Structure 1
Amino acid sequence: MNDMNLNGPLLYSIFLWLFVSVTSCSHRTSQNQENNVFTAQVTFNDSIHDFGTFSSDNPTQKYIFFFMNRSNVPAVILNVTPSCRCISTEYTREVVLPGKSGKVEVTFDGTKSAVGYFDKSVQIRMNSPHTYTLNIKGHME
C-alpha cells in the first residue's frame, strides 16, 4: 500500500517537471527570436591593416576602419577592447542607422615599445552576437 502512495506523487512530480521543462524551452526560443529583432549586422571595409616598416622616430601610427550597418536596425558599439596599452581607440559613439557607416580609429603608440615586429588586435562588441576583431601590424625600426 505504501508503494502505491509513492507512485502518485512521483508520477505527478515527473509530469510537472516535464511540463515546466517544455514550456520554459519554448519560452526561451521565442525570447531568442524577439532578441534577433535588435541584432545589427555590420561589415567592415577591412579587418587587418599593415603599417609596413616605419621609423621609431615617428612611433605613432593611425588607421581608420570603417563599417557599414547592413541590417534594418540601428547598430551601436557597446565595447572596444585593445589587446595592449600601446593601442588607443576612437570610435563612433552615436547610433549608426541602417545603411549608414561608422568608424573605429586605431592608434599604435610605439614610444614605450621595443623596436621590431608587432601584431595587435582590437575586439569590438556591438548589439550583435558576433564579436569583431580588427588587427594592426607593422615593423618599427
Structure 2
Amino acid sequence: MNILKSFFICFAFAALVSCGNAGNKEEQATDTTASDLVQGGKIEFEESVYDFGEIKEGEVVDHVYTYTNTGTAPIILSQVSASCGCTTPSYTQTPVLPGKSGEVKVSFDSNGQVGKQQKIVTISSNAENRVTTVQLKGEVLSK
C-alpha cells in the first residue's frame, strides 16, 4: 500500500511540475511569435551587377549602386567590404528610412589586374536581408 501511495504522490508531483513548464513554453513561444511579426528594413538594389566592359590596365572604374529601403524600419549599414584590395567601397553612413534611398559607391583600380574581373562587395546591415552583395565585372586589357 505504501508503494502505491508513493507512486501516486510522485505521479501527482510530476503532473504539477510538467504543467508549470508547459505554460512557460507557451509564453516563450508567444513572445517569439510576436517579435517575429515585427518587420524591419529591407534593402533592394536597383542593380546588383555592373559590367564595365573593357578598359585598359591602369584605369579606375567608379560606380554607384543605389538601394531603397522597402521595409518598415530604418536601415543602418554596419560594414561594406570588397573581395580585393583593388576595390574600395564607400557608403551611406546615416540611417536610411523606409521608402528612402542610400548608396554604395565602388572604386576599382585596374592597375595590375589584367584579364576578366569579377569583384564582389559584401554589405552587412540590420535589414531583414542582413547580408547582400553587389558585383563589378568586366575585362582589363594590358597596356
TM-score (norm 1): 0.82
Deviation, 1:75, is: 2.7
Matched, 1:28 2:32: yes
Match of 2:126 in 1: 127
Point out the structure with max Rg over C-alpha: 2
Q: 3-state SS of the aligned residue for 1:111?
A: coil
Match of 1:51 in 2: 52
Aligned counterparts of 1:16 and 1:112: Cα–Cα separation in 2: 68
Aligned counterparts of 1:23 and 1:44: Cα–Cα separation in 2: 38
Match of 1:80 in 2: 80
Matched, 1:19 2:27: no
Aligned counterparts of 1:97 and 1:139: Cα–Cα separation in 2: 37
Aligned counterparts of 1:133 and 1:12: Cα–Cα separation in 2: 52
Deviation, 1:122, is: 1.3
Deviation, 1:27, is: 0.9
Q: 1:101 to 1:74 in 2, by over 3 A?
A: same
Matched, 1:42 2:46: no
Match of 2:109 in 1: 109
Cα RMSD for the two superposed structures: 2.0
Structure 1 residues 33-89: Cα deviation after superposition (integer angstroms, max 9, x where no partner): 24x2xx12332221100111111132x221111122334543322221322323211
Aligned counterparts of 1:86 and 1:138: Cα–Cα separation in 2: 14
Deviation, 1:112, is: 4.7
Match of 2:69 in 1: 69
Q: How many residues align?
A: 136
> What 5-or-longer segments of structure 2 have no aligned partner?
none
TM-score (norm 2): 0.81
Greater shift, 86-95 or 10-19, is seen at 10-19
Aligned counterparts of 2:112 and 2:13: Cα–Cα separation in 1: 70
The percentage of counterpart residues that share the same residue type is 25
- On the 8 A contact 2:116/2:139 being kept in 1, the answer is yes
> What 5-or-longer segments of structure 1 have no aligned partner?
none
Q: 1:112 to 1:6 in 2, by over 3 A?
A: farther
